[in-house]
Amino acid sequence: RKEVEQDPGPFNVPEGATVAFNCTYSNSASQSFFWYRQDCRKEPKLLMSVYSSGNEDGRFTAQLNRASQYISLLIRDSKLSDSATYLCVVNMGNQGGKLIFGQGTELSVKP
Amino acid sequence: NAGVTQTPKFQVLKTGQSMTLQCAQDMNHNSMYWYRQDPGMGLRLIYYSASEGTTDKGEVPNGYNVSRLNKREFSLRLESAAPSQTSVYFCASPGTSGSFEQFFGPGTRLTVL
């Protein structure tokens, strides 16, 4: 089992749609969780951290379920500019700052 | 304040050639990381440095060496490049001291023929 697994892509959605990405992780000692966005041929950029209470940033909502070791990202009213690959990222628990990356889910928002 | 910088942006090598990828951060952080990213795969950790003067292997260290020259710089060296090392290489450093999120340099696209 991969340490961090994401929905296989690609997701092709029309503008204005709501899209949800799912991610599971295997290390129960993990403490920190993130969603990164990566545009084609660019570096990954932090989209948002994920907290146990859930958190929202504009059209983006992240949820964490520690019991199920599950993370989600919801994008509402999707825009053309949301087209990118979304990476689920988890820290390696008792190994400090080391991060494990999911393989990414590609999103394509069409007019 | 550039964050994390990497050089070069692109490089083409022949099998057996050597090269060093440079990374620098101006955030005064202790930790620095080198990753590689291949199509269809997540980023994989090659080496990391928790502080100046220390380095440790990550998930895929074979074929690479690193040097933490000072707090600011962390270089990755390929002594004898192989086609399997064709990849995009990213250097990263934490966002704030003690935090787990990482910020990435723009990457080096390396092709080994």
- Chain B CB contacts of A42 under 8 Å are 106-107
Determine whether the interchain pair B107/A43 forms a contact, defined as Cβ–Cβ distance below 8 Å: yes
pLDDT for residue A31: 83
**Secondary structure (3-state) at A81:** helix
- Chain B CB contacts of A45 under 8 Å are 104
Instruction: Give tens-digit pLDDT for A33-84.
Output: 999 999 998 999 999 999 888 899 999 999 999 999 999 999 999 999 999 9
What is the distance between the alpha carbons of residues A76 and A90, in angstroms, rounded to a whole number?
23
If one counts every other C-beta atom within 10 angstroms of the C-beta of residue B84, the result is: 11
If one counts every other C-beta atom within 10 angstroms of the C-beta of residue A1, the result is: 5
Which one-letter DSSP state was computed for residue A31?
-
| E strand segments, chain B | 4-7, 10-13, 19-25, 32-37, 44-49, 56-57, 65-67, 75-78, 87-94, 102-104, 108-112
B40 in contact with chain A, both atoms CB, cutoff 8 A: yes
Six-digit token pair at A44? Answer: 């990954």
What is the distance between the alpha carbons of residues A88 and A100, in angstroms, rounded to a whole number?
9
- Listed range (A65-74, B71-80, B88-97) with the worst mean pLDDT: B88-97
What is the distance between the alpha carbons of residues B29 and B102, in angstroms, rounded to a whole number?
11
pLDDT for residue B29: 86
Instruction: Search chain A and give the residue with CA nearest B34.
Output: A98
B1 pLDDT above the threshold of 60: no
**Least CB–CB distance from A98: residue in B40, B42, B48:** B48
- CA triple A87-A89-A90, angle to 5 deg: 165
Instruction: Search chain A and give the residue with CA nearest B57.
Output: A98
pLDDT for residue B2: 64
A32 in contact with chain B, both atoms CB, cutoff 8 A: yes
Instruction: Search chain B and give the residue with CA nearest A3.
Output: B42
Cβ–Cβ < 8 Å for B42, A101: yes
Instruction: Give tens-digit pLDDT for B11-60.
Output: 999 999 999 999 999 988 889 999 999 987 789 999 999 999 899 999 99
B3 in contact with chain A, both atoms CB, cutoff 8 A: no
Determine whether the interchain pair B100/A4 forms a contact, defined as Cβ–Cβ distance below 8 Å: no
Phi, psi of A95 (to 5 degrees): -110, 35
pLDDT for residue B94: 86
The B residues from 86 to 105 touching A (CB cutoff 8 Å) are: 90, 94-95, 100-105
